[in-house]
Structure 1
Amino acid sequence: MIDKQSVVDARRVYYSLLSRLFVFSWDDDRFSGVQQMLDLMAANPMDENSQKALENLQLAFDSRNLESVASEYDRIFHAPPDPIRTSVSFYEEGYESSSPCLEIKNMLLKTKFRRDEKRYKDTEDNFGFLFSLMSNFIELGKNDENYRDLSDEIFVRFLNPYIDEFVEKLYTHPKAEIYRNVASLMASFFAFERIYYDGIESQNVKSIKVKDGLSRAEMARRESNKKRRENDKRRKKELS
């Protein structure tokens, strides 16, 4: 069993790294801090696969190679004929800006966070934006149960059902070289995250209807509600 308090900072750093790798920006410093985070992770890799991926990424994110990283990002996520989609809406319902985007906007109303439209060009359900939220919510959750609950909800409701499909698309994309290592790192990290969340199951099924007539979205909502009830029960027990 994981000592959850002992891995808070490590989880925050991983999500912070992923946010920098998947949030589109025109800024010259879009990859600021990436090399330092990679060095930190490489000192304590999760497993053999992540160790190799981190070694390759350390070379790729040398300051002399950042233009190559940005160019590869554009070829994977923007260039025709088959750019990889990065929104939960697309993986859940097959088109952009659907109900997950609205759900996340409503979630943000409970917080001090809003999407900075000048910085974040994509919608609120973009994976990069969700990774950024996770990093911030994990940090704030050290002292605020509400933010801990919100980070739980983001993972259970929005990331867990769709992240494996996204990672697979990234790993197998013909233009992915540097980002294939990112995909390997993500595979190890999200396997760890499922252990952190008490062995929650992957939902890597590439169809809208997946089990007993339920959509992945409905399965995710039920899992999220279950997690919320568990958190409420835990709090009541702590107060009693």
Structure 2
Amino acid sequence: MLHLTQNERENIQHARNLYYDFFNGFFVFELIEGRLEISQKQILILKQSLLEESLSVNLDFLQKEIKNNGMQGFKQEHTQMFALPFGGKQVGIHLSHYYENCIGGESLLTMRSLIKQSDIRLNKDNFKDTEEHIGFLFGFIGYLIRNNQDSLAKEVFLFSHNAFLGLCRELQERGDSKLYLHLALLLESFLKFEKEFYH
């Protein structure tokens, strides 16, 4: 990321924040319902500057789903992938699932310690999960980027990166994943970009 102008750096920061907000809106169940208009706008922006040309198919699929059915399909599939214990292997949505094969393990303690370095605290009235929830972490990293807390954003990303990749892999392995398969492919491409950004 050497030799970038101030304007180029700002554009990259805006794009990264857009991606994190996009994924936050789909991976936190409580946010899905209210994301119709913003998701439509975000998809239009993402289609204008693809990380990989092949991703236009994924964005087109999501755009068509939202146009035809709103957010209901995302809510149903989110429940099917992450909450229901039957129908297929439940996809993990917590860091500890990927790092310790449990929920609420050392990864949660690590994440709480990192979050304490910021001014963010979970609102338990609106969000019923923990600080190691991957959807929450997308929003948290985006918040850190918006507030120029780059070193903490990097630390959270690097700690979470393998779990993010595990999420993509588990979604791709589920034969009944439709909408979230497309999100996983988009996320996987974004994670490659982020990894390069931080190295």
TM-score normalised to structure 1 length = 0.75
Pairing partner for 2:46 from 41, 44, 61: 41
Matched, 1:120 2:127: yes
Does the CA contact (< 8 Å) of 2:29 and 2:75 recur in 1?
A: no
Q: Secondary structure at the match of 1:136?
A: helix
What is the alpha-carbon distance in structure 1 between the residues aligned to residue 97 and residue 36 of structure 2?
A: 26
> Where does residue 154 of structure 1 map in the other structure?
156
Does the CA contact (< 8 Å) of 1:57 and 1:178 recur in 2?
A: yes
How far is the alpha carbon of 1:68 from its aligned partner?
1.6
Does the CA contact (< 8 Å) of 2:171 and 2:177 recur in 1?
A: yes
> Where does residue 164 of structure 2 map in the other structure?
163
How far is the alpha carbon of 1:32 from its aligned partner?
5.3
What are the within-5 Å matches in structure 2 for residues 45-194 of structure 1? 45-62=50-67, 64-81=69-86, 82-141=89-148, 147-158=149-160, 160-194=161-195
Letter in 2 for 1:191: K
Does the CA contact (< 8 Å) of 1:50 and 1:185 recur in 2?
A: yes
Letter in 1 for 2:127: Y
Task: Identify which range, 62-71 or 8-17, moves more after superposition.
Answer: 62-71
What is the alpha-carbon distance in structure 2 between the residues aligned to residue 107 and residue 63 of structure 1?
A: 40
Unaligned 5+ segments in structure 1 are: 142-146, 199-240
What is the alpha-carbon distance in structure 2 between the residues aligned to residue 122 and residue 50 of structure 1?
A: 30
How far is the alpha carbon of 1:65 from its aligned partner?
3.0
Identity level (%): 22
Task: Identify which range, 45-54 or 132-141, moves more after superposition.
Answer: 45-54
What is the alpha-carbon distance in structure 2 between the residues aligned to residue 26 and residue 152 of structure 1?
A: 24
What is the alpha-carbon distance in structure 2 between the residues aligned to residue 47 and residue 26 of structure 1?
A: 27
Return the structure number with greater relative CO, CA threshold 8 A, min gap 6: 2
Q: Which has the larger radius of gyration?
A: 1
Aligned length: 192
Q: Secondary structure at the match of 1:29?
A: helix
Unaligned 5+ segments in structure 2 are: none
Pairwise CA RMSD: 1.8
TM-score normalised to structure 2 length = 0.89
Change (3 A) 1:83 1:93: same
